Amino acid sequence: MRVLFVPLAGATHYFPQVVLAWAFRAAGHDVRVAAQPSVAGVVARSGMVAVEVGGSYDFGGHATDLMEVVRRHLGRLPASIEEARRVAATLPPEVLREVDEARYLPHVRAAEAMAAELLDLARHWTPDLVVADHAALTAPLVAETVGAPLVRCLYGPWTGSQVPYPGRNMPVADWPDVVRSLFDRFGVEIREDYTARTVDPCPDSMQVPGIPRRVPMRYVPYNDSGVLPGWLTRPPERRRVCVTLGTLSEKTVPGSTQTLVQRILSALDGFDVEILIAVRSGAGGRLGDLPGNARVVTDMPLDLLLPGCAAIVHHGGAGNVMTAAWHAVPQVAVTQVPDNTFEAERMAGTGAGVALRADRAGVDDIAAAAASVLAADGHRAAADRLRAEIRALPSPAEVVAALREPIC
């Protein structure tokens, strides 16, 4: 069987697909990953075959433009999906249309940057199955063009249950014009949902109900390849707390001159722990003054960093939530954007950690949350239960076998 994977042009959107791609390849299937130039090297490092399609696209930069549109009209970014809904209900129709168009524009531009070459690849290679990021607008275009079933991949608690998305669960009448024109341009009929199956690595206790044609799969972390340093293989002399905020580490907290990572480090100052600050290359020098018990770790996959950690403080991203859950590490999530708030609150609902909103959480609040998850109380027991629930789910190999069955 020929299987074409279609991730969004971002490493963190590709990582959740890697173990399923490995499983297809190990089962003897022919696997290709259609990758824009910005993610092709990430795909190659994972051991998969990348087929470069289209041009590079700065998804993150255009997402920042969206945030500026929202700030201009709202004065601030909503920190939760519920808050975004409340604010949207008060906007004049013309403003709501502008915000809505801006919300989808990064996804449309990303699709436009690769669609023509991606469809050309699909027509020549004729995949039997298309496996894609649940937000990739190019995925239905490819699947419909070659007549292959479309399998969507989730990577944590499903925000789509709260926010409909074109081609996934949005009524046709509600499609924004900017997305509708993309599908019209490539001659693909607009439908409410194109999904044949949804592969879901999130355990039931953390997931929301109602996922269409759900196929549960055990989450197995992959956060890029890396070299494990010797000091991480030895037992720590004192408890370790990992701090990682992804691209949000350099953003200031609303109403403050502090970045979020600076606020978190202030909260952890005085704790009898070793703080491991996970950053990307080039970011370590912008952290400011560090506590004496902090160590900066650069470009280290979280899956390699978390074993031996007593807790993690992060921004609520699904990759952080799920990787910490796999390792049964209690979590403190300090969130700034709606998707992350939703994911963090689903995690906190299991008891495996605490969810805070950055616009409401001061240094003392973060310190109290960290003390809570470090204490010998219910958080660690809940984290152990969550890990057991994840590991009881079907393996990626079992999911591959299920996806080989005819999909009607």
Question: Tens of pLDDT along 257-305?
Answer: 678 899 999 999 989 999 999 998 866 556 878 888 999 999 999 999 9
User: Looking at residues 346-358, what average pLDDT do you find?
Assistant: 97
Confidence of residue 368 (pLDDT cuts 50, 70, 90): very high
Residue 63: pLDDT band with limits 50, 70, 90: low
Task: Enumerate residues 6+ apart whose C-beta is below 8 A from 121.
Answer: 4, 32, 34, 51, 53
Share of the chain above pLDDT 70, in %: 92
The confidence score (pLDDT) of residue 259 equals 84
Average of per-residue pLDDT across 32-49: 96
Long-range contacts of 229-232 (CB under 8 A, 24+ apart): 232/304, 232/305, 232/307, 232/308
* Dihedral (CA of 187, 191, 196, 198) sign: positive
Q: In this predicted structure, what is the pLDDT of residue 289?
A: 83
Q: Which two tokens stand for residue 302?
A: 């979280």
CB 56 within 8 A of CB 35: no
SS3 of 385, please?
Answer: helix
User: Which residues of the chain does CATH 3.40.50.2000 include?
Assistant: 2-219+393-404, 230-392
Question: What pTM was estimated for this model as a whole?
Answer: 0.93
Each residue's pLDDT tens digit, 201-242: 999 999 999 898 999 999 999 999 999 999 999 999 999 999
- pLDDT surpasses 70 at 52: yes
- Quick check: 353 pLDDT over 80? yes
Checking if the pLDDT of 344 tops 80, the result is yes
User: 248 falls in which pLDDT band (50, 70, 90)?
Assistant: low
Burial state string for 211-250 with b = 16 or more CB within 10 A and e = fewer than 16: beebbbbbbbbbbbeeeeeeeeeeeeeeebbbbbbbebbe
Min mean pLDDT across 282-286, 351-355, 400-404 is at 282-286
Please check the confidence at residue 364 and state whether its pLDDT lies above 70.
yes
The whole-chain average pLDDT of the chain stands at 90
Fold designation for 2-219+393-404 = Rossmann fold (3.40.50)
pLDDT of residue 389: 99
Q: Compute the average pLDDT of residues 31-42.
A: 95
Give strand pairing partners of 34. 51
Taking the C-alpha atoms of residue 369 and residue 299, their distance in angstroms, rounded to an integer, is 27
Burial 179-194 (b: 16+ CB within 10 A, else e): beebbeebebebebbb
What is the pLDDT averaged over residues 308-328? Answer: 97
Assess if CATH 3.40.50.2000 describes domain 230-392.
yes
